[in-house]
Structure 1
Amino acid sequence: MSPILVRPVREQLEHDRVIRLLLTRLKRKHEIAINIGDEQAAGVKVGIGQMFPDLVLTSTDRGKRLEGIVEVETGESVNHLEAMAQWAHFGRMRVPFHLYVPAAAVDIAKRLCAENQVNVAEIWSYHTIGDQTRFTLVQRDTTQSAPRETTRHDDHNGQHKAPSGDVRRKGTTPRTAPPSRTTASSSARSAGRKAAPAARGAKPRASRAKPAARKTARTQKRK
């Protein structure tokens, strides 16, 4: 809801329609209150005052903790005054600020956020084709989304990081393969072959010793 802008009727209808579409998309994860037109159903405290963004996201538990705010803009409301009067204040809050702008106004919205130092968590574009409206994420502030994304990755890696490390260690550790049957048989054959010549070499020595004994016997008879 813009307090400083009176939109054309056609843009106001498009603005309210996008808010209702986002209500349908986001209500699965949040409790959502919307401010359409001149309604001020749900406000958020900003400094000493109170502002009324288009969508107020709260937790689904009993605490109703504030989890985010969403502002939907049209072609006429993407301007410097709107950025200073609303975006800058929403960006200073401790919850993520999501900005939805027409696809044709994405570059202007980025420039206004940079010039006014608006801490916007996500910038989405929307465009309508026939009866369907498509939303596209065009910019995300990693510094604001890092805690949530890190928590998800850490849990994921916590389940899979340790097994992956074990697999790597097991893969890199060399394993000594047990001796195969062919190796044992070949070593036995080679040992047998080495032992055979030695045995053959020992036999002639024994045979040579026997004639010497016979000669001594003959010599004794002759004497």
Structure 2
Amino acid sequence: MSPILVRPVREQLEHDRIIRLLQTRLKRKHDIAINVGDEQAAPVKVGVGQMYPDLVLTSSDRGKRLEGVVEVETGESVNHLEAMAQWAHFGRLRVPFHLYVPATTVDIARRLVTENQVSVSEIWSYHTIGDQTRFTLVHRDTQRDAGREARAAEREAEPKSEAQRKRPAVRTTTSSRSAASSSRTAARKASPASRAAKARGGRAKPAAKKAARTQKRK
């Protein structure tokens, strides 16, 4: 949704149609909220204020974590003012920013992104043939994607590492308890045998003394 541009009616209808197509296309992976026309239903916090991208992508869990924003442009809105007023701000978010532009304006969009130092994750072109609209990926920021994946991997690894640090302590405690129990059991089993051996040793000594006396008599 552009706050600085009044599109011709025909372009505005095309713009809103593309938004709804993308809503259907992307809803398999995210929960989608859209800002169509003059609606301001799904705000995104940018700095100290709020902005209203055309599509807001959030996670499907209860946390509703922000996972991306999408801006759809038409021929009239691919310009320098739009790049500074919206693209640059969306590019500063810590989530992917995807830009959709008409196929005829791809080169202009790329130049504006470079000139205004906009951090955009993906640029897609779209064009309509009859009743069919085709989307084509024309740019992807692999460095930004790699950094985001690395941060996600770190967040996932932190709980696992904590669990792994706790597990050995539990196992050690259990093992020591088992060893102590086994030693006590072994000690109890060994006690009767020791007493029997001592008894047999005590009985053997008188027998040896009798044998010695018999030899002396002979």
What TM-score, normalized to structure 1? Answer: 0.66
Partner of 2:33: 33
Distance 1:149 1:94 in 2: 12
1:17 is paired with a residue whose SS is helix
- How far off is 1:130 after superposition? 0.2
2:40 is paired with a residue whose SS is coil
Q: Amino acid of the residue matched to residue 10 of structure 1? A: R
Partner of 1:43: 43
- 1:157-191 Cα shifts (integer Å, max 9, x gaps): xxxxxxxxxxxxxxxxxxxxxxxxxxxxxxxxxxx
Q: Amino acid of the residue matched to residue 87 of structure 1? A: W
* Residues 204-215 of structure 1 mapped to structure 2, 5 A cutoff: none
Partner of 1:73: 73
- How far off is 1:149 after superposition? 6.4
1:5 is paired with a residue whose SS is coil
Between 127-136 and 139-148, the greater mean CA deviation after superposition: 139-148
- How far off is 1:146 after superposition? 1.7
Partner of 2:179: none
- How far off is 1:98 after superposition? 0.2
Partner of 1:21: 21
Partner of 1:111: 111
Partner of 2:146: 146
- How far off is 1:148 after superposition? 6.1
* Residues 73-112 of structure 1 mapped to structure 2, 5 A cutoff: 73-112=73-112
- How far off is 1:143 after superposition? 1.1
Cα gap change, 1:123/1:66 in structure 2, threshold over 3 Å: closer, same or farther? same
2:88 is paired with a residue whose SS is helix
Between 47-56 and 142-151, the greater mean CA deviation after superposition: 142-151
- How far off is 1:144 after superposition? 1.5
* Residues 161-176 of structure 1 mapped to structure 2, 5 A cutoff: none
Percent identity of paired positions between Structure 1 and Structure 2: 84
- How far off is 1:41 after superposition? 0.2
* Residues 44-63 of structure 1 mapped to structure 2, 5 A cutoff: 44-63=44-63
Structure 2 spans left out of the alignment, 5+ residues: 152-218
Distance 2:112 2:77 in 1: 12
Distance 1:146 1:21 in 2: 28
Between 6-15 and 142-151, the greater mean CA deviation after superposition: 142-151
Distance 1:144 1:74 in 2: 26
* Residues 180-219 of structure 1 mapped to structure 2, 5 A cutoff: none
Partner of 1:208: none
Distance 1:57 1:135 in 2: 18
The number of aligned residues is 152
Distance 2:12 2:31 in 1: 24
Q: Amino acid of the residue matched to residue 83 of structure 1? A: A
